[in-house]
Structure 1
Amino acid sequence: MCGAGSSGSVIARRLAENPDCHVLLIEAGANDDEEAVMDPAAWPTNLGSRRDWGFTAEPNPHLDGRSLSMSMGKGLGGGSSVNVMVWARGHRSDWDYFAEKTGDAGWGHHAVLDIYRRIENWRGVPDPQYRGTSGPVWVQPPKDPSPIAGALLNAAEAIGIPKFDSPNGSMMESAGGVAYSDMLVREGRRHSLYRAYVHPWADRPNLTILTETSVRRILFDGIRATGVEIERSGEILQITAGTEVVLSTGAINTPKLLMLSGLGDRSELERHGIPLLRHLPGVGQNLQDHVSFGCTWEYREPMPPQNSGSEATLYWKSRSDLDAPDLLFCQVEFPVPSERTALLGVPMHGWTMFAGLARPHSRGQVKLRSADPAEAPIIEANMMSDPRDMEAAHACVKLARELGNNAAFAPYVCREAIPGDRRNIDDRFIRDAAVTYWHQCGTARMGLDDMSVVDASLAVHGIERLRIADGSCLPRVTTGNTQAPCTIIGERAAEIMRIQHGI
C-alpha cells in the first residue's frame, strides 16, 4: 500500500483484518500525533507546514497569471489529517454517473449508500434509511454550533432554500439545501480516516507501517507489478510485493508515479527519456478541483470560531434546468481572502462564505517536470478555462451575497467587506478571488474508453497486479468535499481485492 490517506488507510485496515494477509503501508509523511492535527480548530496551521506537500500550480492565464497553492496532506491520514473534517457523501447523480462510466452498478448510488450505512457511526438525528450507527467512522453534527452558522440556515430558508437535518441524507438526492455540516470530530478531537481505520489495528503483527518513506517508482517484471522502489533515511531500497501494489498517493502524486514507472502518454515519457511500458494517454489528464470565491463580512463584535470553524454547508443550482446542484458553499467562521482580494481590506473579525463550483467544466493536467522522482510535477490546474464556469461563478457569488446580506445576519455583522459596496461583480473579481477547495481528483480516472486509466475494479488497464485507489480514479469531482468518496473508493478496492485474491 502506497499512501496512508483517506483511501489507503481504509484498504490497509480491511486487508489486515485477515490475519493471513500481510500488509505494508508506506507513507511519505510523519506520524499524526501532533496537536496541529488533532485539534479541530488548528487545521489552518497545517497548510504550508511539513504536513503539506506544498504543491503550487503553474501561472494560470484564465486567472490573470495567478499561481494557486494546491495543498495536499502529507502524513498518516493524508488529507483527512489536515482538512476541515467535513463529511460529504456526494450527490446521487455523481455515483450513478460513475456506474454509467464504468459499466459497474457497484459504483452506483444504491450500492454506495449501503457502504455508507455500514461504515458510519452517525451521532446525529436518527435516520436509518440513510445513516449507520455501528461502523468505524464517527460522524457527528457540530456540537453547540456558532450563532453565525444558525444564521446561514435561517438566511437560506428565508430565500426559499430548504433546510435539512443533515447534508448527507435525502438532501443529496434533491436539488440541494442547507444544513449544519457533518464532521469527523470525536470528543473534541479530529477523527481522521487513519484514526478511524488503522490506528486501532496498528499493533497487529500482519500490518507494517513505514512513515517518512517516499515511493520513487513501481517495479515491473514485464507488465506485472512486482514491488516499489523507495527512499528511506537517505537510502534507496526495493521492496517486493507478494500479491499486488496499490497506489493511494493522491491526484498529483499518483500520475507522477505512474509516469515515472513507464505508464502514461508516449510523447510525455519520451520527452523525459523514460522507457514506455504501456501507452496510457489519460494519465495526468482530467485534473479537476472545486474552485471557490470567498465573500467576507465583518462582525459587529468578535465571535470566536466554534468546532472546526466550518459548521454549515449549502448546495444549490446556478440554473433551474440542471439535474443536480452545481454550487457548493461552506461557511468559514473567519476571514479567508485570496492574496488579491485581501487588498480590498480584510476585517480583523469576520466570516467568509467559501462559495464554489461543485461541478466545474474546466480541466487541467499533471505532467512530469523531469525524470527525477524528487522533483515536484508540473500542475496546470487550468481553473476557469471553460466559459461555463465563469457564468456559474457569477451566479455563485450573487447567491453568496444574497445570503450574507440577509436580515438573519443583521445581529452579527455590520458590513460586507469583500467584495464590498459594489452593485455588480465583474469577471476580474472572479479571477482575483478564485482559490482551490483542495479537492484535486480525476487524473487516473476509471472507465471503459481510451482515456481511462483504470477499470471498474480500479486495476490499471493492460497491467497486472497494480491498482489505483484514491481521488485520482474519480471520473469527475464529486458534489462536495472529497474525503467521504475517497473512503468509499478504499472500501470498494479492499472488497474487490479480498474477493479476487481470496483474502
Structure 2
Amino acid sequence: MSDATAFREGFDIVICGGGAAGCVVAGRLAADPHVKVLLLEAGDEGDVEEVRNPRIWMRNIASERDWDFRSEPCAGLNGRRAPLPMGRVMGGGSAINGLVWARGHKSDFDLWAAESGDDGWGYEAAVAIYKRIEDWDGPASSLRGTGGPMRITLPDNPVPVVHGLLDAAQEQGIPKVADHNAEAVASDGCAAIANVNIARDGSRITTASAYVAPRRHQQNLTVVTGARVRRVLIENARATAVEFDHAGTVHRVRARHEVVLSLGAINTAKVLMQSGIGDATHLGSHGIAVMQHLPGVGQNLQDHILVAGCVFEYRTPEPPRNNSAEFTFFCKSDPSLPAPDLQPMLEECAFGSEITRPAYDLPVDPAQAFTLAPGLLRPKSRGQVLLTGPGPADPLRIDANFLSAEEDVKALLRCIEICRAMGHSEALRPFVKRELMPGPLAPDEMVNFLRNAAGTYFHATCTARMGRDPMAVVDGSLKVHGIEGLRVADGSIMPAIAGGNTLAPCVLIGERAAELIARDLALPHSLPAPKRDGTTA
C-alpha cells in the first residue's frame, strides 16, 4: 500500500513526533496487530556515527538533527540568547543527548500525582513503570528492572578522575552511592557514576532503536520521516486529523481514535496554538480561529540550567571515555529544602560558553582538562513560547527568562562554590594541575561570570502542563482539556520539571501514555515490550 493510500484511509492512532516519548507510544501500541499506528517524524532516521557513538554526542548540537531553537535575549544572561537544543531525528533527544539516565526524585512524582489527582503518576507507580522500561545490569536493587527495551548500565572503565570526584563529593558531605537511580532517589543527595543508555557493543540506545526498530516490519505500523506537522484538525471539539508536510506536499491523515502530540515542549506548544488551542487573545492576534481557550499553552516553560563551568587542567592528559560525562551528583543549595536542587555534571573537556571560552583561553583538546558543570534542577524562573504568526514557517518567540529569579542565582552561586571546593580537594590533588575557570572572584564578579556562563541543560519542559486548574493543558490521562481524541505525551506535560536529566521521565511519560490509550482501546493492560529481534518481552 502506498503512503498516499494509507493517508487517505487513515489510522487508529496518529503520533506526531518520533522522539523520546513518541517512539515509546508507537512501539507499545503497535504490539497489538489490530491497532493501525502512524508515526510522523520531522527529522531523518539518524543512522550516523554522531548518533551511534556516545563519545561525540556534542556534534549533534546545531546539526541537522537539532531544531536549533534560540531564546530571546535573556536579561539574566547579560542579554545573551541561549541555544535550546531539541532533537529533530528519530529518537529525538534520546538520539542527540549526553546519555545520562536519571529517573528523577521521589518528590517529583508525588507532585505530579497531587497536581493530576491520579496516583498513577506517583512514586510507587513510577518505579513500576521504570522497572518494565529498563534492562539494568548494574548493582542489584528491588527498585531496578531487567528485561526491558532500554539497556541501562554503568560506563565501562570510566576516566580515573571519576573515582577522585566520588571521594571529593564525600569530603563535601555528599555520600557516594553505587546507583543514583535506586534508593538514593528518595534521599537528600548522592554522588555516583552516571547511569547511561549504552548497548553492550558501546553504541547508543535510543527510543527509536529500542521501541520502534523491532516493529518496523509490521504492517500495522507506518513510520514517515521528513514529515513536519502543521496542525491538528478539530471538528466539533474533537481531533479528527493531522495536517503535515512531506516531500513538498501537504497531506491530511485521519485519526479514527486519537492524535498524540509528542513534539517536545517547544513544538507541541506551537502545534497546539496553530490548531486553535491556547490563549484566545494570543491566537486571535494572529488570526487563528479559537477551538479551545487554554491560556496555559506555551506558558510555564522550565529548563534546568547548566553552567559552563568550573574547569580544571589535568596533571596528565586524559581523553574522554564512554559518554564523556561519567559522573554526577545531587545535593541541596540550602539544607532546609525538601529535595536536592543542584545537579552538577562532569564534562570531559574544557566546557565554556561563547563568552567564557575565549575570555579564559580554554584548551580545545578535550584531554587537557575536565569541567564540573554546576547545574540547577528546580528553577524558579519561568519562560514562555509564543507564536509570531499563523503559519507553520513563522518563527517562534521563546522567552526562556533564565536566571530571572534571584533564588536561581543564589542557588547556582552555591553550586559553583561546591564544585570549586571539590576541584581543590585533597581527593583530586593527584589529578588537578590547576584551576582554569572561574578562579577566586569577588562576589559581584562571580555573579557576572555566572550570567556569562549559564545556559541550558537541554531539558525544556512544562509548556502543556498536567493539572486541574485553569492554567493546566492536559488532565491526568494526558487528554487536552476540552478536546476529545487529543493527547500530549512528552516533557511538556510535566507540572514542574523533574529533578534530574529528563530523558528517563520522558520515556516514562511515553509508557504511561501508551498504557492509558491501551486502556481506552480495551487492549491488554500491559502491552509487551519490543525486543531487537521483533519478538516480545
TM-score, normalising length: structure 1 = 0.98
Asked if 1:324 corresponds to 2:343, the answer is no
1:158 deviation in Å? 2.0
For the 8 Å contact 2:234–2:291, the answer to whether it is kept is: no
Say whether the 8 Å CA contact 1:314–1:328 is kept in structure 2.
yes
- 1:347 offset after TM fit, Å? 2.8
Residue identity matched to 1:82: I
Could you say which residue in structure 2 is the equivalent of 1:295? 310
Are the counterparts in 1 of residues 261 and 489 from structure 2 also a CA contact under 8 Å? yes
Q: Is the 8 Å Cα contact of residues 345 and 418 (structure 1) preserved in structure 2?
A: no
Deviation (angstroms), 1:285: 0.1
Residue aligning to 2:3: none
- Which among 129, 153, 158 is matched to residue 145 of structure 1? 158
**Equivalent runs, 1:44-63 vs 2, <5 Å:** 44-63=58-77
- Select between 161-170 and 402-411 the one with higher mean Cα deviation: 402-411
Give runs of aligned pairs for residues 472-487 of structure 1, distance below 5 A.
472-487=492-507
Is the CA contact 2:45–2:90 (under 8 Å) kept in the aligned structure 1?
yes
Q: CA deviation at 1:344?
A: 2.1
Report what 1:418 is aligned to: 437
Shift of 1:420: 2.2
Contact 2:36 / 2:221 at 8 angstroms: preserved in 1? Answer: yes
Following superposition of structure 1 onto structure 2, how do residues 146-165 of structure 1 map, counting pairs within 5 Å? 146-165=159-178
Q: Which residue of 2 aligns with 1:184?
A: 197
Q: Any idea what the Cα deviations from partners look like across 1:309-340, whole Å, max 9, x if unmatched?
A: 00011000001111110001111111110111
Aligned: 1:130 with 2:176: no
Counterpart residue number, 2:232: 218
The superposition leaves residues 442-492 of structure 1 with CA deviations (integer Å, 9 ceiling, x where unpaired) of 000000000000000000000000000000000111111001000110011
2:361 corresponds, among 338, 345, 348, to 345
Provide Cα deviations, 1:177-208, integer angstroms capped at 9, x if missing partner.
10000000012000111111111111111100
The equivalent position to 1:119 in structure 2, one of 124, 127, 133, is 133
Give per-residue Cα distances to partners, 1:70-100, cap 9 Å, x unaligned.
Answer: 0101110000000011100000000000000
Name 2:105's counterpart in structure 1.
91
Q: How much has 1:301 moved relative to structure 2?
A: 2.4
3-state SS of the aligned residue for 2:69?
coil
Residue 115 of structure 2 is matched in structure 1 by: 101
- Equivalent positions of 1:70-469 (< 5 A) are 70-127=84-141, 129-186=142-199, 187-293=201-307, 294-342=309-357, 343-348=359-364, 349-422=368-441, 424=443, 426-469=446-489
AA in 2 matched with 1:306: R
The answer to whether the 8 Å contact 1:227/1:240 transfers is: yes
Shift of 1:423: 5.9
Q: Does 1:19 align with 2:38?
A: no
Helix, strand or coil for the counterpart of 2:230?
A: strand
Paired residues, number? 502
Question: Residue by residue, what CA displacement relative to the aligned partner does 1:137-192 show, whole Å, maximum 9, x if unpaired?
Answer: 10000101110111111111122211111110111100011000000001200011
Distance 1:474 1:48 in 2: 26
Which deviates the most, 343-352 or 299-308?
A: 343-352
SS in 1 for 2:257: coil
Aligned to 1:492: 512
**What amino acid is aligned across from residue 88 of structure 1 in structure 2?**
A
The equivalent of 2:521 in structure 1 is 501
**How far apart are the structure 1 equivalents of 2:302 and 2:329?**
21
Alpha-carbon distance, 1:42 to partner: 1.4
> Could you report, residue by residue, the CA deviation over 1:1-23 in whole angstroms, capped at 9, with x for unpaired residues?
00111110110011000000010
SS of alignment partner, residue 244 of structure 1? strand
Q: Distance in 2 between matches of 1:347 and 1:237?
A: 49
Could you list the per-position Cα deviations for residues 336-381 of structure 1 after superposition, in whole angstroms to 9, with x for gaps in the alignment?
Answer: 1011111122134211112111100100000002111013311000
1:403 Cα deviation from its structure 2 partner: 1.1
Whole-angstrom distance in 1 between the partners of 2:394 and 2:326: 37
Distance in structure 2 (CA, Å) of the matches to 1:85 and 1:325:
21
* Cα distance per residue 1:202-245 (max 9 Å; x no partner): 11111000001100011121211011101011111111111100
SS in 2 for 1:138: strand
Displacement after TM superposition at 1:426 (Å) = 2.7
1:64 maps onto 2:78 in alignment: yes
1:296 alignment partner, SS class:
strand
- Structure 1 gaps of 5+ residues are none
**Cα RMSD (Å):** 1.0
* Residue 63 (structure 1) shift: 1.5
State the SS of the aligned residue for 2:343.
strand
* Conserved 8 A contact 1:131-1:169: yes
Q: Distance in 2 between matches of 1:306 and 1:185?
A: 12
Residue by residue, what CA displacement relative to the aligned partner does 1:394-428 show, whole Å, maximum 9, x if unpaired?
Answer: 11111111111112222222111110243645321
SS at match of 1:163: coil
1:125: Cα distance to partner? 1.2
Shift, 1:386, TM fit: 1.0
C-alpha contact (below 8 Å) 1:446/1:452 kept by paired residues: yes
- The SS at the match of 2:311 is strand
The CA distance in 2 between the partners of 1:328 and 1:158, in whole Å, is: 17
* 2:12 counterpart residue number: none
TM-score normalised by length of structure 2: 0.92
Equivalent position SS for 1:448: coil
Structure 2 Cα separation of the partners of residues 65 and 39 of structure 1: 35
Q: Which runs of 5+ in 2 are unaligned?
A: 1-14, 524-537
**What CA distance in whole angstroms lies between the structure 1 residues aligned with 2:86 and 2:424?**
33
CA distance in 1, matches of 2:481, 2:361: 51
Q: Which amino acid aligns with 2:461?
A: C
